[in-house]
């Protein structure tokens, strides 16, 4: 569990000393458990990401703001699904979130995998998702095939 506090970056007019009247420049969330500052997504960020043409900007936003995207992750995935027509950055985002914390981002990863299957019609990127099922995923596939063969009725007469 992460505990967040609020840190306010203050900006005073040039040449003036700090006093009660100050200007708020930006509001940041501070992760007290990780000792780093993460900026909250704002309308300007959403405006910029709405101009994303292929998913790269959204992927970069996820990677650069991983500590503060939990509340906005659905928006980011929706945006990526809207603009990434090939599935390239959808697959990259799924792999990235899996590497960061597969359990925490399980729902997001599932959505991204589903979108990748729908988008990557040429199967150029989908194979990059196979390691998400573990290093021995081929053994699991063979085991599942064998199990399904044993359970299915023999139709040859």
pLDDT digits (tens, 9 = 90+) for 3-13: 444 444 445 45
- Do 57 and 48 meet the contact criterion of CB atoms below 8 Å apart? yes
Token output for 3: 């505990």
Name the residue with higher pLDDT: 103 or 18.
103
Could you report the per-residue pLDDT of 91-134, keeping only the tens digit for each? Answer: 999 999 999 999 999 999 999 999 999 998 888 888 888 878 76
- Do 54 and 89 meet the contact criterion of CB atoms below 8 Å apart? yes
pLDDT of residue 142: 67
Contacts with 10 (C-beta within 8 Å, 6 or more apart), sequence order: 18, 22, 23, 24, 25
Q: What is the pTM of this model?
A: 0.62
Contacts with 74 (C-beta within 8 Å, 6 or more apart), sequence order: 108
Whether the pLDDT of residue 135 is over 50: the answer is yes
């Amino acid at each position: 569990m992460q505990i967040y506090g609020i840190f306010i970056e203050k900006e005073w007019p040039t040449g003036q000393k700090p006093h009660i009247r100050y200007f708020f420049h930006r509001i940041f969330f501070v992760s007290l458990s990780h000792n780093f500052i993460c900026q909250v997504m704002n309308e300007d960020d959403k405006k910029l990401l709405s101009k994303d043409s292929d998913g790269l900007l959204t992927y970069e936003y996820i990677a650069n703001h991983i500590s503060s995207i939990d509340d906005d992750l659905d928006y980011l995935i929706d945006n990526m699904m809207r603009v990434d027509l090939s599935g390239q950055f959808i697959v990259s985002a799924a792999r990235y979130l899996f590497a960061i914390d597969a359990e925490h981002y399980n729902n997001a990863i599932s959505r991204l995998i589903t979108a990748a299957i729908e988008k990557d019609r040429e199967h150029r990127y989908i194979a990059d998702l196979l390691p998400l099922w573990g290093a021995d995923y081929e053994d699991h596939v063979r085991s599942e095939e064998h199990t399904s063969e044993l359970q299915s009725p023999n139709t040859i007469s």
